[in-house]
Amino acid sequence: MNDALIPQIGVVTQIRVETPDVKTFRVVGLDGKKPFEHIPGQCAMLSIPGVGEALFSITSSPTVEEYLEFSIKKCGCVTDWLHSMEEGQEVTIRGPYGNGFPVDTDFVGKDLLFVAGGIGLAPLHSVINYCRARREKYGTIDIVYGARSMADLVDYREILDEWSREEGVSVHLTIDNAQPEWDGHVGFVPNYVTELKPDTSKTVVMCGPPVMIKFTLSGLMELGFDRRNIYTTLELRMKCAVGRCGRCNIGSKFVCKDGPVFRLDELDELPNEY
Amino acid sequence: MKKLLKTDLDTLFQAIASRQTLYIPVEDAGKQAAFIPYAPGLVMSTALNTARSAKDLFFPQVESLVNFRMDGKHIEIVSAEAEAKPFVLFGVRACDARSFDILDRVFYDAEPQDTFYARRRDLGTVVTLACSAPEETCFCTAFGIDPAEPAGDVSVWESGDSCLFRANTEKGEALLRDLPLEDASDGAADAAKDAIRKITDLLPLKDLDLTPFGAGKTQTFFDDPAWASLSESCVGCGTCTFVCPTCQCFDIRDFDGGKEIRRYRCWDSCMYSDFTQMSAGQPRPTQKERFRQRFMHKLVYYPDMHEGLFSCVGCGRCLQKCPIHMNIVKVIRTLGEETK
């Protein structure tokens, strides 16, 4: 029996440039098929032997049957290497890891508000597209997404051409500073969320830089949101992703297997060390 | 129960070693004992415990996971599985025997099971040795461990000029079945056990109070100001984690040997600054957070995850080896005292 730490080989069949420092990588198995099934919010370990292994959110929706996709920001050893490779490159892949979002339970029938900043859209992309594909199971979908500049918005074409045009889906984009070619909202994500005055019955799914999470949260609290209706997904350094290597714990919970998705009231129970 | 004259112990070792690899504690030139494969002429150490714990035999400091061959854009996976044979680990103390239970919950009983650890665990027969001379740094009894009744597949007691053997498992019975041992009465080790318990009753750390700790105590201790003073002199050397029989954290790394890339895992330490370092930041930025992690894990987080079981066995190795004389006993006393 192969150990969970032994990966399989995957082939990168497509690389898309999303922003100056984010690329999306499409991965299939050696047989040309999707390497494994997953739940939105789950992650996988990608590696280049000799460089290292790192954990990434699976960006594609489980409803995509042909491949897995990962939107990855260039910010360290492994990601530098991934950004430098060409289509056709083989990588190693293992997973899926983590709990994922409760898309088939708690989210069903709810109005959903997605709040993302920068590369924080990556883990939510999977959820958003899953919910779009099973549209009848959910209420309205609101997406508030911001980045430093227009060029830093990940999945910009897909957002404009697909998400924005869909009935029942409202997209609210914002960038930090005004740009001549931008006629949309300018400002930080937390302020934009407050300005939009979302109904407190919505279920919130957040991912972004810690400072965005912090200020968005205080805005949501002021609006009167219930902490049990707010979800986020975390990431800490991991080596094994199966709860053995001992480094991604927050108190008694391992982000790799008890997370990465946590409800806010669950996070409140954990020590503030993430 | 079976018995053997102590003078015949070497004959017994030879008999075991003729069938399986036998590991016994042997002292090196610096008087540090370690479990090494038995060979004629080696003498079993009389030291209370090995410098490094017995966990090496099941969770080695370094082990290969898998190898890769790279050719252009192509990657080939090459198995790194080493041939594994049955072995006997002789002379494990009661504390280290408990550590296997603690490691089992992480590696063996977990889902998914760690197949590397599990294979060694299945192949290994553990022969424990009751502690005839517990030391002042011992506090296994605080964790409910009885050094006079060590667990394992076979338990051994020294009694007068004899050694007494009792099989505790089928694996243990299988080992004893073919060995040149004489029969002994069931109560033959009672005197030896009494003598050990008389010593443990005198140990200075026997009353170490663990009751303030355990599952559900994260909120009680996490923000305790004492962590700052307790950790102040910690140099982050990680010695405590390396000698600890229950520390289980590891790193996974790649070594490019030219022809093949070897992916291996090796022990790591939560006391090191790069343990949790990410390109985006560091959840444990100073030694205080790292120090707190280590002790909170042993005294609260692990019990939270494993029905209240502490991840410390009171072997005392960290008390002996810490260069600044900080240790879990001081942590237990300082934090425990505050809750009273």
What DSSP letter does each residue of B213-244 carry, written as one string?
A: -STT-HHHHTT-THHHHHHTT-----HHHHH-
| Chain A CB within 8 Å of residue B337 CB | no
Question: pLDDT tens across B39-88, in order?
Answer: 999 999 988 899 999 999 999 999 999 999 999 999 999 988 878 899 99
* Helix/strand/coil percentages in chain A, nearest 5: 25, 30, 45
Residue B280 with chain A: CB contacts under 8 Å:
75, 235
* Domain spans, chain A: 8-97, 112-233
Just give the CATH number of A8-97.
Answer: 2.40.30.10
Burial of B317-336, coded b for 16+ CB within 10 Å and e otherwise, reads bbbebbeeebbbbebbeebb
Nearest Cα residue in chain B from A2: B115
Question: pLDDT tens across B280-290, in order?
Answer: 889 999 999 99
CA distance B209 to B204: 12
Cα→Cα distances B275→A98, A118, A239, B56, Å: 21, 26, 10, 21
Q: Do A50 and B218 touch (CB under 8 A)?
A: no
Cα→Cα distances A153→A79, A185, B318, Å: 19, 13, 51
CA distance A135 to B213: 49
Nearest Cα residue in chain A from B76: A9
Question: pLDDT tens across B87-103, in order?
Answer: 999 999 999 999 999 99
pTM score, whole prediction: 0.94
CA angle A186, A192, A197 (to 5 degrees): 145
Q: Residue B323: what are its φ and ψ, rounded to 5°?
A: -70, -15
**CB < 8 Å & 24+ apart, contacts of B43-47:** B44/B9, B44/B13, B44/B90, B44/B91, B45/B91
Out of A3, A79, A246, closest to residue B249 by CB: A246
Question: pLDDT tens across B219-273, in order?
Answer: 999 999 999 999 999 999 999 999 999 999 999 999 999 899 999 999 999 999 9
| Chain A CB within 8 Å of residue B264 CB | no
CB A133 within 8 A of CB A64: no
pLDDT of amino acid B149: 95
Residue B286 with chain A: CB contacts under 8 Å:
none
Residue A250 with chain B: CB contacts under 8 Å:
283
In 3-state terms, what secondary structure has residue B18? coil
Question: pLDDT tens across A58-99, in order?
Answer: 999 999 999 999 999 999 899 999 999 999 999 999 999 999
| Chain A CB within 8 Å of residue B280 CB | yes
Helix (H) or strand (E) holding A10: strand A8-19
What 8-state DSSP symbol labels residue B278?
B
Residue A88 with chain B: CB contacts under 8 Å:
73
| Fold classified for A112-233 | Rossmann fold (3.40.50)
Is A2 exposed, middle or buried (CB count within 10 Å of its CB: 0-12, 13-18, 19+)? middle
Residue A267 with chain B: CB contacts under 8 Å:
none
- The CA distance from A26 to the nearest CA of chain B, in Å, is 15
* Domain spans, chain B: 2-200, 218-338
Helix (H) or strand (E) holding B247: none
CA angle A238, A240, A245 (to 5 degrees): 80
What 8-state DSSP symbol labels residue B56?
G
Q: Is the pLDDT score of A1 beyond 80?
A: no
Q: Is the pLDDT score of B178 beyond 90?
A: no
Q: Which of B224, B301, B311 to mutate to test the interface with A (most CBs of A within 10 A)?
A: B301
ipTM: 0.92
Cα→Cα distances A150→A11, A142, A169, Å: 31, 20, 21
Residue A268 with chain B: CB contacts under 8 Å:
none
- The CA distance from A12 to the nearest CA of chain B, in Å, is 10
| Chain A CB within 8 Å of residue B112 CB | yes
Out of A88, A90, A244, closest to residue B107 by CB: A244
In 3-state terms, what secondary structure has residue A246? coil
- Match 């290994």 to its residue by tokens: B124
What DSSP letter does each residue of B290-327 carry, written as one string?
A: HHHHHHHIIIIIHHHHTTT--S-----HHHHH-TT---
